[in-house]
């Protein structure tokens, strides 16, 4: 039986490459696994040989020690792989298929799944609605930053690529379908981005850049990206975005210089709970800053898409309220301007097939937009370290050397 190397969280600032057992079609006990899930059979699952698996900003929150993630947790919820084994209840997939796996695990059978709300499946996580691979408080499903991984409810969850050779040729783009491309798109779609929109996206990390590319795909007239990181802002400009350096002050003033008015039609929060202040406060964490800023600069009657992560437990928060996810949000301002807000996990399956088609037919170059860099699984600790230091890259792990070249 094959072994299984994987990336594990080992405490604040620490990840390691560890040897695991080869996965089974059953949930085993381990760090973060809910006791009610131990021994759960998955005849509806498949075992994937991981083709690519990406480092995500959400992983980075855990690795920084900003969640209650237990040591030993196997990381990774952005998974693309080849089916090498399938359970007896899998009907529509075959060994050898290359598939994208949504980061949210969904049964396809509960009320929410049947309504398309796959980010808040009611059955896969005993603690709360919603689940994901390799993530804190998400039921304990083993992460995919590994050579092999088990995917449950495979017929429902897996998006099969129509042609194997084409999929491997475009794998740097297709690997983004597991999370950041649908998540960025969801942020824009729920913010109402359409033909001719003006859009402000807070955050030029991979999700923010994916949101910017999505806004262009949706037909926005002007896409403005705000951040503190000069390299990430340069990356946004590389594919036609305007940029705002929030270390220079309130983004409203810079937006007015770009548009002639200090407001936009649509706002997207791609930062989340580790937000920093603007201007002279940029050196300090201020988790409500982005949400309050977006309400200020989004026009009356506009909408906010909030794909940025907010948590219910943050041991490293700046104040006691923020440690439980309580933030000083100017809800009265949003109410007065009749803003609509959409929060929560992106329901990846709502978008991933359509975005796959956009990639396959060359309507978007998402890997170029997010500056994807392919590295071996063994170099994951370096990827985490450089990403934490603000590298303007999206690190893609290649456990089996199946990606032909690291050139973007």
User: Minimal CA–CA distance to 366: which of 171, 130, 167?
Assistant: 171
pLDDT class for 408, splitting at 50, 70, 90?
A: very low
User: Minimal CA–CA distance to 177: which of 372, 399, 389?
Assistant: 372
pLDDT class for 406, splitting at 50, 70, 90?
A: very low
Q: What is the CATH number assigned to the segment(s) 184-342? A: 3.40.50.720
Tokens in use for 286? 């201020």
Encode 259-325 in three state secondary structure: HCCCCEEEEEECCCCCCECCHHHCCCECCCHHHHHHHHHEEEEEEEECCCCCCCCCCCCCCCCHHHC
What pLDDT does residue 285 have?
83
State mean pLDDT over 359-381: 97
What pLDDT does residue 366 have?
98
What pLDDT does residue 404 have?
65
Give the residue range(s) of CATH 3.90.180.10 domains in the chain.
Answer: 4-179+347-398
State mean pLDDT over 149-178: 97
Q: What is the pTM of this model?
A: 0.96
Q: How far apart are the first and last CA of the chain?
A: 34
Give the residue range(s) of CATH 3.40.50.720 domains in the chain.
Answer: 184-342
> Is residue 90 scored above 80 in pLDDT?
yes
From 3.10.310.70, 3.40.640.10, 3.90.180.10, 1.20.58.2030, which CATH number describes the 4-179+347-398 domain?
3.90.180.10
What pLDDT does residue 62 have?
94
Q: Could you please report the per-residue DSSP string of 321-372? A: TGGGT-----HHHHHHTT-EEE-S---GGGTHHHHHHHHHTTS--HHHHHTE
Mean pLDDT of the chain: 95
**CB-CB contact of 90 with 45 (8 Å):** yes
- Percent helix, strand and coil across the chain, each to the nearest 5: 30, 20, 45
The rounded percent of the chain whose pLDDT value lies above 70 is: 98
In a 3-state reduction of DSSP, which class is residue 177?
Answer: helix
pLDDT in tens, 40-76: 999 999 999 999 999 999 999 999 999 989 999 999 9
What pLDDT does residue 407 have?
44
């Amino acid at each position: 039986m094959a072994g299984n190397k994987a990336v594990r969280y080992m405490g604040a600032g620490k990840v390691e490459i560890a040897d695991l057992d080869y996965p089974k079609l059953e949930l085993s006990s381990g760090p973060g696994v809910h006791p009610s899930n131990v021994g759960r059979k998955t005849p509806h699952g498949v075992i994937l040989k991981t083709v690519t698996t990406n480092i995500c900003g959400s992983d980075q929150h855990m690795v920084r020690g900003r969640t209650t993630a237990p040591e030993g947790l196997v990381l990774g919820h952005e998974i693309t792989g080849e089916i090498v084994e399938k359970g007896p209840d899998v009907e529509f997939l075959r060994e050898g298929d290359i598939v994208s796996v949504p980061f949210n695990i969904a049964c396809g059978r509960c009320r929410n799944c049947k309504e398309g709300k796959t980010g808040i499946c009611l059955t896969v996580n005993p603690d709360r609605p919603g689940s994901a691979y390799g993530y804190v408080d998400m039921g304990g499903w083993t992460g995919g930053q590994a050579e092999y991984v088990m995917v449950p409810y495979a017929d429902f969850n897996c998006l099969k690529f129509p042609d194997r050779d084409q999929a491997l040729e475009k794998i740097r783009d297709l690997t983004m379908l597991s999370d950041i491309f649908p998540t960025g798109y969801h942020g824009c779609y729920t913010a109402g981005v359409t033909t001719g929109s003006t859009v402000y996206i807070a955050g030029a990390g991979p999700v923010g850049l994916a949101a910017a590319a999505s806004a262009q795909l949706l037909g926005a007239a002007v896409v403005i990206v705000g951040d503190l990181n000069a390299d990430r802002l340069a990356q946004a400009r590389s594919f036609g975005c305007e940029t705002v350096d929030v270390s220079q002050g309130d983004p409203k003033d810079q937006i007015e210089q770009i548009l002639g008015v200090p407001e936009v039609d649509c706002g997207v929060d791609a930062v989340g709970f580790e937000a920093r202040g603007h201007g002279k406060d940029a050196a300090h964490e201020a988790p409500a800053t982005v949400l309050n800023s977006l309400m200020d600069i989004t026009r009356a009657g506009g909408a906010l898409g909030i794909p940025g992560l907010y948590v219910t437990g943050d041991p490293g928060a700046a104040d006691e309220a923020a440690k439980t996810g309580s933030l000083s949000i100017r809800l009265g301002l949003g109410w007065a301007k009749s803003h609509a807000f959409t929060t929560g996990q992106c329901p990846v399956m709502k978008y991933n097939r359509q975005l796959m088609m956009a990639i396959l037919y060359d309507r978007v170059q998402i890997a170029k937009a997010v500056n994807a860099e392919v590295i071996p699984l063994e170099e994951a600790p370096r990827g985490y370290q450089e990403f934490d230091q603000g590298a303007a890259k999206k690190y893609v792990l290649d456990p089996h050397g199946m990606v032909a070249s690291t050139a973007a």
